[in-house]
Amino acid sequence: MKSIILSTRLILILLCATLLLSFNCHSSPSGTTSSPDLSNKIPVSSFLSEKDFNTLFPLHDKFYSYAAFIKAIDQLGAIKVKITRRAASVFQIIRTDKTTGKSTIVRQDADWNESWAKAKPDTSYTIDYGAVCSENDIQTNKKELAAFFAQIAHETRHGEDGKYNDGLMLMHELNTSLTYIADNDDYPAVKGKKYYGRGPMQISYNGNYGYASTCIFGDKNVLLNNPDLVQNDPVVAFKTAIYFWMTPQLPKPSAHDVMTGKWQPSAADKAAGRTPGFGMTINIVNGQIECNKGDKMPNMNDRIGFYQHFLKLLGASDPNCACSCGTMKPYAYN
C-alpha cells in the first residue's frame, strides 16, 4: 500500500513549515525543468520480449500480461505534465498529449491568481512519462527496468521467500476491508468507495488515486469514482505503477531520477544517509516501514534480492550498487 501524493493543503503547509516542501529535490526543485530529450529513445519493447517478461515473472497472474505492460508504456508515454507550485500549497497542472500537441490545464487551485500566492517565484517541473526505462543507454535502461520490476514484484508477490518467481500475482492487497480515506480538499473521497492498495505499486488513499487520475486521464474523477479500475483494467494498473515511478513526491525525488542518475542528494539528504542507488528507491516506495532499520530488514532484503535477480536475467549489472536503505532516514511523509 503505497502513498504517493497526499495533496491536502494542510499537509503541504506543514511540510513547508518544517522545510520539507512538497514534491522533491527532483532535478531542479527551485527552477523549471524541461522534458528529457527522447530523440534517441530506446523502447522497452526493443530489449524486453514477451518471453523475457514471462521468464522474469513465471508465476504472474494473467491479468499482468506483457501486452498490457507495453500498452501502458506506449499510452502513458504519450503524456507529459507540467506541475507548477505557487507559494507553498497552490498548484497548477498542465497535461499535454504529445500525439496531438494539445495542452490542457487539468488542475488549477482556487487561490492560483491571488496576490499573496504570486508574491514569490513559482516552482515548475515537467514529467515526460515516455522517458520511463527509455531515455538512456541500454544498460542504464535495463538497470532502471530491473529496479522498477523489483519494486512491483515485491509489492505483488504471493509465494515463497527467496525464489524471486512470485511477482505480479496480487491485483490488490489482501485486506480489502480498510477504506484508506483521508481528508483532502483537492481529491475528496467518493461516498462508498474504498482506496486500499491496488495494482503493481499498490497505490492507496483517495488523494493518491485523485492525483494519479489527474495525470493519467486528465480527470481526477476517473479513479476517485472508480478505484476498482486499477484492479480490473491491467493497462490502467500498469499506468498507475509507471506514474508512481516517474512522479516526484516532494521532498522525495522520483525513483526514475534516482536510477538514471539525475537526482543528487542535498545537504539534508546526505546528513540523513540518503545516497543515489537502488536503496533510495526503497526509501521512496516504503521508507517509513523498511528504512533506517539496519541491513537485516526482511522486506528490504526481498526487494534487493529481486533487483539483483532481475539484473542478472536482463543482462545488466550494478557493481557499485547502494542497494540497502538500512541506514537511510525515511522522509517525514511516505
- Rounded Cα gap, residues 144 and 125, in angstroms: 21
Nine cell digits for residue 134: 527509455
- Rounded Cα gap, residues 18 and 158, in angstroms: 39
- Rounded Cα gap, residues 292 and 274, in angstroms: 10
Phi-psi region of 11 (alpha: psi -120 to 50; beta: other; left: phi over 0): alpha
Is 114 known to be catalytic? Answer: no
My answer on whether omega of the bond before 200 falls inside 30° of 0, hence cis, is: no
Which residue out of 135, 155, 173, 290 is catalytically annotated? 155
Which DSSP letter does residue 101 get? T
- Rounded Cα gap, residues 204 and 181, in angstroms: 9
The DSSP line for 127-188 is: EEGGGTTTSS-HHHHHHHHHHHHHHHHHHH--S-TT-----S--SB-S----------SSSP
Q: Which helix (H) or strand (E) covers residue 82, if one does?
A: strand 79-86
Give 253's strand partners.
none
For the chain, what is the total number of helices (H) and then of strands (E)?
A: 12, 4
In 177-325, where do the E strands start and end? none
Nine cell digits for residue 269: 539528504
Nine cell digits for residue 291: 528504512
Catalogue the active-site residues: 155
